[in-house]
């Protein structure tokens, strides 16, 4: 697990620094955590150069995205710190 930070902004709002972790696809299996909506990353996405998957906490989904189920599958353009 690697601690990472990203700048996040939505609808041209001021960016907010978000803290998170970069984990492999097996991370959620080890802790027996399942997604409530959407999915977690796959082994293919663990490979160098592959597209990445973001997994939000329930709290972040509620507070930053207004519990919008339409957020699932949207592309993002995070800027890593």
pLDDT in tens, 19-58: 999 999 999 999 998 899 999 989 999 999 998 788 988 9
Q: What integer pLDDT is reported at residue 52 of this predicted model?
A: 79
Contact between residue 69 and residue 37 where contact means Cβ atoms under 8 Å apart? yes
Q: What integer pLDDT is reported at residue 76 of this predicted model?
A: 64
The structural domains of the chain, with segments of one domain joined by +, span 2-70
Q: How many C-beta neighbours within 10 Å does residue 22 have?
A: 11
Residues 6+ apart with CB under 8 A from 5: 17, 18, 19, 20, 80, 81
Alpha-carbon gap, residue 9 to 7, rounded angstroms:
7
Contact between residue 39 and residue 52 where contact means Cβ atoms under 8 Å apart? no
Quote the tokens at residue 40: 């977690």
């Amino acid at each position: 697990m690697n601690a990472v930070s990203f700048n996040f902004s939505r609808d041209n709002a001021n960016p907010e620094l978000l803290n998170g972790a970069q984990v492999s696809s097996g991370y959620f299996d080890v802790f027996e955590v399942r997604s409530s909506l959407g999915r977690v990353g796959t082994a293919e996405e663990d490979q160098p150069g592959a597209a990445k998957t973001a997994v939000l906490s329930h709290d972040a989904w509620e507070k930053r995205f207004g519990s919008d189920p339409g957020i699932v599958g949207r592309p993002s353009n995070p800027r890593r710190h």
